[in-house]
């Protein structure tokens, strides 16, 4: 099963992402901060970069532990935060969890914060 | 005097921002995480949005306190973190400090993390 919180998706920003002279809607700062907070850690930056840059765009938790040099429970904990922030999806297949980066989620957060 | 740390500027990413199959260079995750960590707080998200969306692209600390409903020392503290992360510049003019968003800094961090 693939799970992802519906944060800052295209539809969402199309519906409610209006920015009036730099004044974000009342609930937006909290949602945007949650996305960035998830990336305020070098290990999670590395994990998202590894998954996003992988050949298939998907990585098994079993292949993420070595590159970051951490145990599987620790990597799982970091990945949970990325999934909860709406930056990645998690799919369980048998014994292993597989992760994908949600396209545009980070870009949308940045664009909502500072539209150019 | 305008001060800004030279993090993730255009030149910087042109020089060292190479990403090889999602494997960030050794010092990059720390630098990228520092940018995002500064935005992992709703007040700082609001402050950067206000400054970036202002008519002149610049705001006085004296005009930032009301919109976020916080004291000047608290706003100063938040702004210091945004300046140290390379997201804003600070210029002292007489009694007041004026802030600007550094164009492209957030975009560069996002693009270095997840090149499209």
Instruction: Kindly list the domain boundaries of chain A, sorted by start residue.
Output: 2-113
Contacts of A63 in chain B (CB under 8 A): none
Q: Residue A84: its pLDDT value, please?
A: 97
Q: Determine, for residues A36 and B32 on separate chains, whether the beta-carbon distance falls below 8 Å.
A: no
Q: How far apart are CA A76 and CA B109, in angstroms?
A: 24
Residue A112's closest CA among B115, B77, B106, B9? B106
Q: How far apart are CA A44 and CA B34, in angstroms?
A: 12
Contacts of B100 in chain A (CB under 8 A): none
On whether the CB atoms of residues A57 and A100 are closer than 8 A, the answer is yes
In chain B, the percentage of residues whose pLDDT exceeds 70 is 80
Q: Is the pLDDT of residue B11 over 80?
A: no
Q: Determine, for residues B32 and A21 on separate chains, whether the beta-carbon distance falls below 8 Å.
A: no
Q: How far apart are CA A31 and CA B87, in angstroms?
A: 19
Q: Residue B27: its pLDDT value, please?
A: 82
Query: How many angstroms away from the CA of A72 is the closest CA of chain B?
Result: 19
On whether the CB atoms of residues A100 and A9 are closer than 8 A, the answer is no
Distance between the two ends of chain A, CA-based, in angstroms? 36
Q: Is the pLDDT of residue B3 over 60?
A: no
Query: What ipTM was predicted for this assembly?
Result: 0.79
Mean pLDDT by groups of 10 residues along chain A of 116 residues: 48 40 76 96 97 96 97 98 98 98 94 88
Q: Determine, for residues B113 and A106 on separate chains, whether the beta-carbon distance falls below 8 Å.
A: yes
Q: Residue B46: its pLDDT value, please?
A: 97
Q: Residue B2: its pLDDT value, please?
A: 58
Contacts of B66 in chain A (CB under 8 A): none
B20-60 pLDDT per residue, tens: 455 677 789 999 999 999 999 999 999 999 999 999 999 99
Q: How far apart are CA B36 and CA A4, in angstroms?
A: 21
Query: How many angstroms away from the CA of A67 is the closest CA of chain B?
Result: 9
- CATH class of the A2-113 domain in this structure: mainly alpha
Mean pLDDT for the stretch of residues B92-107: 96
Q: Determine, for residues A23 and B50 on separate chains, whether the beta-carbon distance falls below 8 Å.
A: yes
Q: Residue A25: its pLDDT value, please?
A: 77
Q: Residue A92: its pLDDT value, please?
A: 98
CB pairs under 8 A between A and B: 126
* Among A12-21, B64-73, B85-94, the least confident range: A12-21
Q: How far is CA B85 from CA A12, B4, B40, B67, B78, in A?
A: 28, 9, 12, 22, 11
Q: Residue A1: its pLDDT value, please?
A: 52
Question: Higher confidence at residue B103 or residue A3?
Answer: B103
Of B23, B55, B110, the CB nearest to A106: B110
Contacts of A110 in chain B (CB under 8 A): 106-107, 110
Q: Determine, for residues A24 and B43 on separate chains, whether the beta-carbon distance falls below 8 Å.
A: no
On whether the CB atoms of residues A41 and B33 are closer than 8 A, the answer is yes
Contacts of B22 in chain A (CB under 8 A): 49-54
- Give residue A27's region: left, alpha or beta (phi > 0; psi -120 to 50): alpha
């Amino acid at each position: 099963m693939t799970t992802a919180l519906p944060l800052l998706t295209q539809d969402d920003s199309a519906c409610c992402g209006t920015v009036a002279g730099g004044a974000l809607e009342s609930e937006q700062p909290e949602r945007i901060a949650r996305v960035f907070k998830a990336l305020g850690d070098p290990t999670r930056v590395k994990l998202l970069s590894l998954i996003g840059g992988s050949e298939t765009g998907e990585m098994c938790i079993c292949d993420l532990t070595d590159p970051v040099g951490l145990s599987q429970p620790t990597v799982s904990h970091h990945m949970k935060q990325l999934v909860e922030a709406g930056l990645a999806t998690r799919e369980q297949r048998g014994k292993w969890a597989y992760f994908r980066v949600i396209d545009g989620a980070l870009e949308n957060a940045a664009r909502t914060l500072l539209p150019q």
